Amino acid sequence: MLNFKPASPSLLLFALTACAAPGVEFPSLERRPYETNAPVAAPAEPPAPSAVPSAELATKSSALLARHTAANQDFLRALGAVQATASKAAGTAPGSEAWVNAQLMLSRLDKMRAGSVAVLREFDGLIADAGAVDADMAALVTEAQRPVAEDVATQSAEIARLSRLIGE
């Protein structure tokens, strides 16, 4: 165990006097010329974002959203039957007729979401193309893509939940 003794007052005084050695110039504490000048002006406002997508981009976005809506409706129509079949197959042995039937229906349901996944991928391409030209356009396309991404995430979560229910 180490024992430390407090420094003696004469040692502290010696150390402080060593800092003020004669002949050593320290920097001045006066303001420097650049500190008294006017502060740097704020940058000019950037140009207003172009809040309206081009007609071509709006048409592509609308067509993609329509495709997604149709694919998502197909998914939702089939979901109820798959949920009922999965509930019946819950707890059955893998390979049983109920289990196989539920797996088959779940596979078909997963395939139904392919349309929405393709739309999501095409939106990603539009975002990349728009971002190369104008970041504001990319933000608009990203906002248009948001409901598709949310629906695809919901579909994926439901398929995963049903798969766990059926058991693999």
Task: Name the burial class of residue 134, with classes exposed (0-12), middle (13-18) and buried (19+) by CB atoms within 10 angstroms of its CB.
Answer: middle
Asked if the structure places residue 154 within a domain, the reply is yes
pTM over 0.75: no
Place of tokens 């006097």: 17
Question: Is 131 among the domain residues?
Answer: yes
* Inside any domain, residue 20: no
- What letter would DSSP give residue 20? T
Per-residue pLDDT of the chain (168 residues; tens, 9 = 90+): 566 666 677 766 666 666 566 666 767 778 777 667 766 666 666 555 555 667 888 899 999 999 999 999 999 999 999 999 999 999 899 989 999 999 999 999 999 999 999 999 999 999 888 888 788 888 888 999 999 999 999 999 999 999 999 986
Residue 139 falls inside a structural domain: yes
Write out the residue range of the structural domain in which residue 102 sits.
64-166
Does some domain include residue 4? no
Round to whole Å and give the CA distance between 48 and 42.
17
Torsion over CA: 79, 85, 91, 96 (sign): negative
Total domain count, the chain: 1
